[in-house]
Each structure stands twice: as C-alpha cells, then as structure tokens.
Amino acid sequence: MRTRSFAGVLAALLLVLLVPPPALAAAAPAATFEKTADWGSGWQARFTLTNGSAAAIDGWRVEFDLPAGTSVGSFWDASLARDGNHHTFTDRGWNATIPPGGTVSFGFLGSGPGAPLNCTFNGSPCTGAPGGGGPGAPGTPRVTGRTDTSLTLSWTASTGEPDGYRVYAGTDVRTTVTGTSATIGGLEPCTTHTFTVKAFDAEGESAGSEVTGTTTGCATGPLPRHFLTGYWHNFENPAQELKLSQTPDEYDLVAVAFGEATARAGEVVFGVDPGLSRAVGGYTDAQFKADVAALQARGKKVILSVGGEKGTVRVDSAAAAALFADSVFGVMREYGFDGVDIDLENGLNPTYMAQALRALRAKAGSDLIITMAPQTIDMQSTGGSYFRLALAIKDILTVVHMQYYNSGSMLGCDQGVYAQGSVDFMTALACIQLENGLRADQVALGLPAGPGAAGGGVVAPSTVTDALDCLARGTGCGSFRPARTYPDIRGAMTWSINWDVTNGGGFARTVGAHLDTLP
C-alpha cells in the first residue's frame, strides 16, 4: 500500500513539473497625466509611461486631443506632431525602450483651461485598462450658475465608463456626483474659487480639469454689468470740440477731462475751459451742469477725471489726502459728478491716494464711482504704485481702464512679449490684472478711438470686440489664450468721445453694441 501511494505522489509531481501553470495576468502599460505646476495663465504638465507588462516596450506614442482654448507650448523628452487639436508625442530614440516595470516621462507647457482628452498609449487607452476601460479627464468644466454663496459647475462626460466625478478644492473633495454637474455651496459673496473635476472608477481617478468662478454679491456700483466709458475734452485740440450734451448715446460713463491742480498739494478745481467755450459758440458752467443732469436723466454717469498726460495733482501726505477728498467732494457737489477717475500719468503715492479715496467715499457714500486709467507700464507688476493702489482699494474700486496704447511692446502674463495694436496685446496684458488680484468686473480695456487719438496702439473696433470675446468667452483669441474665461470682464474705455465723433463714431457704435452681447 505504501508503494502505490509513493507512485501516485511521484506521478502528481511529474505532472506539475511538465504542465506549465496558467499565465499570471500582467498589468497593461499605462500613461498617466498630471499638472505639475499651474500659474493661472498657463501650466506645466508631465506624462509618466509605465510598463507593467512582462515584455519590454520598444518605441512609444502618446496621442490625445485638447479642447478648444487649450494649447501646447514648449515640450521636452519627446517629439511632437500636431494636427489641429490632435497631438501626438513620440519617443526621441534614446528613451524609446521601457523595460518591464520601468517608466519614462516627458513634459510640456500648456495654456488654457482644458486637459488631454481621448488619450491613447501605443493605441490603447492611456489608463491601460483592458477593453478601453478607465476614465479620461472630464471635458471643459464651466460655471453655469452663480449665487452669492454657491457656484454650479457643468462639464462633458469623460471617456470610458466612470463611476462618478469628484470635485476638488485643492486637495479637499467638495462633492461627489454621478452626473456631469455639481453645485458647490457654503461660499462667501464676491469670492473667486478654483475647482478641479476628476472622473473615477474602480481603477482610480482620471486627470483633473480645472474651472474658476466668482460668486455674485460684488459691489460693482451703479453701472451696467458691461459698460462703455469715454473721455470728454474740456480743452481744445485737433479733435472736434463738443458740448457735453453732444455725447453719443452708446456711452454709459463719461469721464470729464480734466480736474486741475492748484498750488496747494492735493487740491483739485474745475471749470469749463474758456477756449472750449469759444470753440463751441459759448458754454457756461451753468450750461455744463445742466448737461450733466441731462445725461444722468438718460441713465448715464458722469465723473471727473484727475490728471492726464500733463496733470500735476500731488497727494503725498496726510494733509494732501484730506485736501484732495475735500476739494473733489466740493466739485462733485457743485457740478453733480458721480465720482472720480485717477489718471495721474506722472506718478502717485499709493498710500496717501488710497487714504484720500477712502475719505472721499466716506463723504460721498457707497454709490461713489472710482475708476483708474493707468498706463500699461504701471500695471506690469503688483509692486508698481498704480497696481498697489488698485489692490489697496479693491473693496471700493469700480474699474481699472488700463491704456492699451502709446506703449510699444510689453510683457504679457505668460512672460511673452506682445506688440500693441493686437488682440494678444490686450488679452495677455489684461491677464496680468485678472490673475493678480483684481476681479474681472474691475478690469476693462482702454483703447484710442481711431486715427489721431494716440501715437500708437490704434486698432479697429472689431479688434477690441475680439479681445473682449477672448476674455469673456474664449473665442476670437490670437496666439495667446487665457487659462480661463472671464465672463464678468467689465467693458471698454476710449480716448476719447471727441476723437470718436471726429472719426465717425465707429468705436462707440461697434464696441458699445457688442458689450450688450457679452455673457
């Protein structure tokens, strides 16, 4: 009996040795995408290719699509071929082989709000899941609803069959949903938030798609959601002289140029210029005041601009700040102005000017309109005096009308160099303000109203509307594409009403009408 048992055991051992065991399932090769840095106007990305199979990979190819408004810039450790929005990255030869269990990575710089879609690694889904499983990144999230305390997000479904979507604020999961929309509550009024939406299933999470939005409840002042500003000349120059009553109806806000300085630091005075009065056949202070009231009766706002190219108003002490507030408030009461525009092109002290404007608001009340018209150089950095002033009074500031003219070439928010007179110049420079502390409803585009109005930077009105569309909708952009859209972008300003009328009124007719179409 022991002999038969030994023979059976020996036979069983021989069977095990001679018959190969079933093959263990090897993990499929996978490509994972991540944003390794994000600075608002752009981001840095990395793909990591992992060979989980038992055989070496000799040559690799990663293909994906990018949604409209998202693009690839420079790249490294790979070769790139583009076909519209379709991108194909391939090995560089020296990194073509990925051994079993090994990894290879490559990276690139991107701009725009999206992330790779429909990704494949050597023809298979980037997640490496069999049969095309594993979720891709959700498509182009956007803000579809806003209240003072919530934002509603929507996106297109990811590829694969995700179990659901997680919405992150930083590393915190704010909500998990099975559909393609979510409402994030518990937010503060007039605050800006960035969320990342990721699809997930049993195998893990997809790459994230970002979206940024601002809750309602901002103190935007007594002006339309989007509005057109024009400067009116209280002086003579080659443009046509006008009475204030001749302002075209397309203008929502009229900035009267300019209040003048006196020998006393901070003091501002105003009166109808005698030369202008003669040029228009007689124009008195009383008639001007009546015209201010008439514009206001038509729903317009009229403010006093302080400074200009040759303005010398100095507010560089507490005493000057107090005198500025007192004198400007006195002029406002006498002439009926709704606010003040700071157009000090020869420098300002942000500490004392902020003090002056807060004192003025305490006198005039919450409906006071405060605008600023800095040159492009003044808004290149948050360390500049104009930018510091804008941030210091952000809670009471109505809008910044930066002058996108007489500038030459300047740096955009992506550190690219852009020439004035282009869509890229406007959008890339507006991005600096939009991504460095100002709300979108506090940013507007200031352009000359045709030939004669400026020494450089004159553009067709359609170029201005393209720039507004690029910022508000993500359409009409040039080579620079903002990382996100800014539907609250406030509008446009022109120097000047007089030059616009001289050139036939095309700026106001085109840009003013277009502002009504913005979201």
**Any idea which residues carry the catalytic annotation?**
345
Q: Which helix (H) or strand (E) holds 278?
A: helix 274-279
Residue type at position 442: Q
Structural tokens at position 156: 């297109």
CA distance linking residue 388 with residue 354, whole number of Å: 9
Pairing verdict, β 491-495 and 227-233: parallel
Q: Look up tokens 């507007």; give the residue.
A: 444
Q: What is the dihedral of CA 405, 406, 412, 417, to 10 degrees?
A: 130
Coil, strand or helix at 111: strand
Structural tokens at position 225: 């959601």
Coil, strand or helix at 18: helix
Cis peptide bond N-terminal to 496, omega within 30? yes
Region at 132 (left for phi over 0; alpha for psi -120 to 50; beta for the rest):
left
CA distance linking residue 325 with residue 362, whole number of Å: 9
Coil, strand or helix at 398: coil
CB atoms within 10 A of CB 396: 17
DSSP string, 403-462: E-SS--EEE-TTS-EEESSSHHHHHHHHHHHHTTT--GGGEEEEEE-STTS-SS----HH
Alpha-helical (H) ranges within 280-339 are 285-297, 318-335
Structural tokens at position 331: 């002029």
CA distance linking residue 198 with residue 35, whole number of Å: 13
Which residues partner with 31 through β-bridges? 49
Cis peptide bond N-terminal to 258, omega within 30? yes
CA distance linking residue 201 with residue 180, whole number of Å: 15
Sheet holding 139-146, edge to edge: 139-146, 151-156, 181-184
In the chain, helix, strand, coil percent, each to 5? Answer: 25, 30, 45
Nearest alpha-carbon partner for 459 in 502, 424, 413, 488: 424
Structural tokens at position 322: 């107090």
